[in-house]
Amino acid sequence: MGYDHTCNDPAMLYRVETMPGLGWLLKRRLYKEELEPKWPTPDLFWDWDMWMRMDSNKKGRECIIPDISRTYHFGAKGLNMNVFFQESYFKKHTLNTEPNVKFNVGLLKKENYEKEIERLVGLAEPLDHSKNPCKNEKDFVPETSDKTYIFYIEMKHANDWTTWNNIARCLRIWDLDARGFHKSMWRLWLKGNHVLIVGSPASPYAKHKPINVKPIFINYLKTNLPLILSLCPILLGLLK
């Protein structure tokens, strides 16, 4: 998820269903043959990154992203950016400074990645689901190190973001829309521990949920009034 407090391993890679939006690479053939012919023209007021995230362009494909980012968003002024937005969502992103990092790219192939996720979910220790990660932020994740934990959140279908949006807000990560997931599951680091967040029953990995564990459901929304006000010029621009 890219923030100072949610990443840990410069050699770790994830498969995610959403295009990250900053630094990225793709095959020339994909761009020339598929994307360029239908790329939004200047007369269309559309952000290219949001356009790239449309299902009609994704076509079920995934992106590979590193646990620790290799790019950093430093602009605080622009068409869809202001100082408050930069401070709230981008300033606390981590930037990798370790050279010569070796990636296990083979692990990211579809079949291998599924085996790895199944392995992680199988060995992960369930967190205490009687606790609310928003109300028990300090002790929801134990004071351990390099352990793998898992918790399940209520997610009735693939587009049910009610609980996730609140979890993301409480974890102080991107919460304006749902990103960084793979089959309704998120991976991040908290307190130096690898944590898996699985949407249940939407995710196929929810089959590992113990019978006595009830998925966490959070049905309230803590509004961020300063942020909403700061976004008003941006939202008005999009409506023009």
Residue pLDDT, tens place only, 155-191: 999 999 999 999 999 999 988 889 999 999 999 999 9
Please compute Rg for the chain using Cα positions: 19
Examine the pLDDT at 2 and tell me if it is beyond 70. yes
**Count of alpha carbons within 13 angstroms of residue 89, beta-carbon side:** 19
Work out the pLDDT band at 116, boundaries 50, 70, 90: very high
Work out the pLDDT band at 147, boundaries 50, 70, 90: very high
Q: What are phi and psi of 4, to 5 degrees?
A: -50, -40
**Taking residues 42-51, what's their average pLDDT?**
79
- Residue positions annotated with a catalytic role: 49
pTM exceeding the 0.85 threshold for the entire prediction: yes
pLDDT digit string, tens, across residues 212-223: 999 999 987 555
Q: What are phi and psi of 159, to 5 degrees?
A: -110, 20
**Taking residues 134-140, what's their average pLDDT?**
86
pLDDT digit string, tens, across residues 48-85: 888 888 999 999 999 999 999 988 777 777 666 777 77
pLDDT score, position 236: 45
More confident residue, 72 or 229: 72
**Taking residues 206-232, what's their average pLDDT?**
75
Q: For all residues of the chain together, what is the average pLDDT? A: 87
pLDDT score, position 111: 97
Examine the pLDDT at 208 and tell me if it is beyond 80. yes
pLDDT score, position 221: 59
Examine the pLDDT at 89 and tell me if it is beyond 80. no
